[in-house]
Chain A
C-alpha cells in the first residue's frame, strides 16, 4: 500500500537514494610517467632560464651550455676520460672488496655462534669509528697512493652490507627453521634454500647503501688526498676559479650515483620478483 503513487500531491521531499559516491582514495594514486626524471629536469630548465635571463653570475654558476661545452672540451683533449677512468677504477675496486668482505663476514657471523662472537662486536666497533677519521692513519700505513683510497672505500662499503645482511640472517623466522627440520633438510640445504633467500631483501638494502657509500668515500678522498681523478680535477679547478669544470665533475658524480643505484634496483627487482606481488 505504501507503493501506490500519490496522484497530484505536492512534491514531497522524498529522501531519494543518493547515488553512492566512491570514497576518496588515500593512496597517492598512479605513478606519473618518468617520475624520477621530472624533478631534475625541472631544475635544469630553471637553471637554463635563469642563466639565459642573465640572473646568475656566470663566474659562480655558469650556464648549462657553458658546462656542457667545457665537458666536451675536457673530453676531447683527453683529460676527462683519464680522470673518469681513474675514479671509476677506484670506486669499483673498493666496492668489490667491500662487498665481498661484507657478505663473507655477515655469513660467517650469521651462521655460526663462534663467528658471531668474533666478528659482530669487532664490526660494531669499526662502525663506531668515523671511517674518514681513519684517513691519516691509512696514509701513514699504506702511503698516499691508490691502496689507501681503495681500502677506505672498501670500509665505507662493507659496513652497511655487513650490518643489513647480518640482521637479515639472524632474523630468519624461527618457524622456517622448524619447517626445515621437519622436512629433513641438511645444513647446506637449509642455508641455501632458506637462510640465503630469506636474507636477500636485507642484503639488497645494504647493497644500495654500500653503492652510495662508495661514491661518497670517493668524492672525499679525491678532493683531499689525490693527484688524479675527478675530485683532483675539481680541486685544481677551484684554484683557478673554473666553476664550470667543478660543475662538470659534480654532474659526472651525480650520473655515476644515479646509474649505479638504478642498476642495483633493477637487479633487486629481478632477484626478489616474489615480492612484487606484495607491493602491488
Chain B
C-alpha cells in the first residue's frame, strides 16, 4: 500500500521496527506503521495475533514486556477498554473526571456526558448503568481530555448487537466533531469496514494488509461496494466467504 504522502503534518503515531515478545515468543515482529493526525484506523487480526499488544505498546501500558523498536505517540492519549472500567465507588461524573480537577474540568465533564447521551445521569452510580451506558460513560471519560489519539481495544465487544450499532454511529459522530487519530482494535471485519477509513490486518506479528476504505460516511452494512473490501480483508485473515 502506498503511504499517505499527501499528509503534510508529521504522523501522530510512528512505529519503526516495533518488536515485542512474551517468554521468548515473538508477538510483534518489527512493525512499521504511520498514522497521520486525525485518521480513523481499525486494526484487525485473529485472537492472539498481537493486536492488543500493539495497542498496549502505543498506550505505554507494556512495562515489563521485552521488546525493541522506535515508537512515537502524541502527548494526549486516551484509552477505551473492552470493559467500561468505571470505578464502582465514584459517581458517573466523577468517573469521567478521574485525574482532572477544577470547575473548568467539571463543566467539560458534563458536556462530554451530554455528548454521549448521558445528560442527567451525572449522579448515578456505575452499577446502575446498562452495559451500553457504561461504555458511553467510558467514551466520555476518554473524550474529556481532548485526546490527540484515541486507542480503543475492542470497545464494543461486550455489547449486544443493537447497542453496538448505536455505539458505532456515536463513535463516528464523536470522531467527526473532535478529530482525534483513532486506533480501533477489533476482531469484527464489518465493524472495521463501517467505521474506519483505513483497515490494517495484523498477521504473524506484522502488518499483513493495509487497506484504505474510500467510501462516504455514514456507511451501511448493506452497501454492496463494501463487499469487495470485506472479501479482501477476510482473505487476508485466512477466511473464505463460503465459511460464512
Chain A contact residues, CB within 8 Å of chain B: 175-176, 178-185, 189, 193-194, 197-198, 200, 272, 274-275, 277-278
**Pair B99/A277 contact, Cβ less than 8 Å:** no
Using CB atoms, name the residue of chain B closest to A186: B99
**Pair A176/B128 contact, Cβ less than 8 Å:** no
With a 10 A CB-CB cut-off, give which of B59, B77, B87 has the most chain A CB atoms.
B87
Chain B contact residues, CB within 8 Å of chain A: 59-61, 77-79, 81, 83, 85, 87-90, 98-99, 125, 127-128, 141
Using CB atoms, name the residue of chain A closest to B94: A193
**Pair A198/B99 contact, Cβ less than 8 Å:** no
Using CB atoms, name the residue of chain B closest to A278: B127
Distance in Å: Cβ of B73 to nearest Cβ of chain A: 12
Distance in Å: Cβ of A111 to nearest Cβ of chain B: 18
**Pair B87/A183 contact, Cβ less than 8 Å:** no
Expressed in whole angstroms, the Cα–Cα distance for A198 and B79 within the complex equals 22
- A residues within 8 A CB of B90? 193, 197, 274
Using CB atoms, name the residue of chain B closest to A272: B89
- B residues within 8 A CB of A197? 87, 89-90
Among the listed B61, B77, B89, which residue makes an inter-chain contact with A198, where contact means beta carbons less than 8 Å apart? B89
Distance in Å: Cβ of A195 to nearest Cβ of chain B: 11
Given contacts A182-B61, A278-B127, contact A175 B98 (CB under 8 A): no
Distance in Å: Cβ of B89 to nearest Cβ of chain A: 4
With a 10 A CB-CB cut-off, give which of B78, B88, B127 has the most chain A CB atoms.
B88
**Pair B87/A194 contact, Cβ less than 8 Å:** yes
- A residues within 8 A CB of B83? 175
Prevailing SS type, chain B contact patch: loop
- B residues within 8 A CB of A277? 125, 127-128
Given contacts A182-B61, A182-B78, A277-B128, contact A175 B99 (CB under 8 A): no
Expressed in whole angstroms, the Cα–Cα distance for A194 and B87 within the complex equals 8
- B residues within 8 A CB of A184? 99
- B residues within 8 A CB of A181? 60-61
- B residues within 8 A CB of A180? 98-99
**Pair B59/A274 contact, Cβ less than 8 Å:** no
- A–B pairs, 6, beta carbons within 8 Å: A179-B81, A179-B87, A182-B79, A183-B141, A194-B87, A197-B90
Expressed in whole angstroms, the Cα–Cα distance for A193 and B100 within the complex equals 12
Among the listed B60, B88, B98, which residue makes an inter-chain contact with A179, where contact means beta carbons less than 8 Å apart? B98
**Pair B87/A176 contact, Cβ less than 8 Å:** yes
- A residues within 8 A CB of B89? 197-198, 200, 272, 274
- B residues within 8 A CB of A274? 88-90, 125, 127
Distance in Å: Cβ of B144 to nearest Cβ of chain A: 10
Closest 7 CB pairs of A and B: A183-B99, A197-B89, A182-B79, A274-B89, A185-B99, A274-B125, A179-B85
Expressed in whole angstroms, the Cα–Cα distance for A26 and B59 within the complex equals 47
**Pair B98/A176 contact, Cβ less than 8 Å:** no
Distance in Å: Cβ of A203 to nearest Cβ of chain B: 13
- B residues within 8 A CB of A198? 87, 89
Distance in Å: Cβ of A131 to nearest Cβ of chain B: 33
Using CB atoms, name the residue of chain A closest to B127: A277
Using CB atoms, name the residue of chain A closest to B79: A182
Expressed in whole angstroms, the Cα–Cα distance for A44 and B128 within the complex equals 43
Distance in Å: Cβ of A115 to nearest Cβ of chain B: 21
Distance in Å: Cβ of B66 to nearest Cβ of chain A: 19
Using CB atoms, name the residue of chain B closest to A185: B99
Expressed in whole angstroms, the Cα–Cα distance for A197 and B89 within the complex equals 7
- A residues within 8 A CB of B77? 182
Using CB atoms, name the residue of chain B closest to A200: B89
* 11 extra interface residue pairs, beta carbon distance < 8 Å, beyond A176-B85, A181-B61: A175-B85, A178-B81, A180-B99, A183-B98, A183-B99, A193-B87, A193-B98, A197-B87, A272-B89, A274-B127, A278-B127
- B residues within 8 A CB of A278? 127
Distance in Å: Cβ of B31 to nearest Cβ of chain A: 21
